[in-house]
Structures are given as structure tokens and as C-alpha cells.
Amino acid sequence: MSKNILLIGDHALFRQSLASFLNQLPELKVVEQADTPTEISDSVLGEVDVAVFDSLLPERGKLQLIRDLREVAPNLPVVVMTSSHDPAVLSQTLEAGANELLTADVGLEAFAEEVKRATYS
């Protein structure tokens, strides 16, 4: 059975490319994509096994988004992608409740493995 993914990112090319790659894997399926967090309904959160998002979402800070996700879906694994290597930023993201934090220089296969791992944690 495949794991359902919510993918949030404001760059359509990047988000759609990631979705296309993940949907090629039998164990993962992107069932919902959103440009912004406000496009996500609480009912969608009940249908997904993991939320994956870009840390540079412009609408609100990633830390607030993580906290909001934790509030409405406390057991939903959260994977955050970031281009930052700043230890303080990485630490704050994990402290806010992210299960996994992946830097943008990770390869696609390693990214997919981390998403799978998060769904089983």
C-alpha cells in the first residue's frame, strides 16, 4: 500500500517535478499539492501520511506552519526541505516539530528514502 503525501511549495516547477518523481515510486503517492498553506483543508490532512514542504514559503513562516500542522494533525510526519545550512535554523525547525529536515543538496533518491522513513516513524 502506498503512502499518501501532501506536497506544499510555491514554485510550481519544483513542486510538480518532485510530485512526478515521487509518483513513479510504488510506495509513495502525492495525493495533494498546494502553493500555499491556506489551500490545505483539515480534511486533506486526515487523508495523508506525510506532509512535505519548502521552508521558504512566503505566506507565513515555516515554524508557524509546522506548529499549525502539529495542532490539527499531531501525529502527521512533517518533512521540511531547506536550502539553509545554518545550525540555528536547522535546530529551530526540528524544535518546532519537523520529523525530518532535508537540505536542498540531497539527491532525489535520498529525498524519497527520507520521506518513506518519515511515514514509518
Check if the beta carbon of residue 5 is closer than 8 Å to that of residue 49. yes
pLDDT at 90: 85
Q: Where residue 39 falls among pLDDT bands split at 50, 70, 90?
A: confident
Which residue in 16, 66, 13, 79 sits closest to 37, CA to CA? 66
Q: What's the grid cell of residue 97?
A: 516539530
Strand, helix or coil for residue 31 = strand
Q: Which helix (H) or strand (E) holds 79?
A: strand 78-82
Average pLDDT rounded to a whole number, residues 12-37: 91
The structural domain count of the chain equals: 1
- 55-83 pLDDT, tens digit per residue, is 765 545 778 888 888 888 899 999 998 88
Q: What's the grid cell of residue 44?
A: 486533506
Which CATH number covers residue 95? 3.40.50.2300
Asked whether residue 21 carries a pLDDT value surpassing 90, the answer given is yes
Give the C-alpha separation, 41 to 46, whole Å: 9
Q: Give me the domain span that covers residue 45.
A: 3-119
DSSP-assigned beta bridge partners for residue 80: 53, 101
Q: Does this model's pTM top 0.95?
A: no
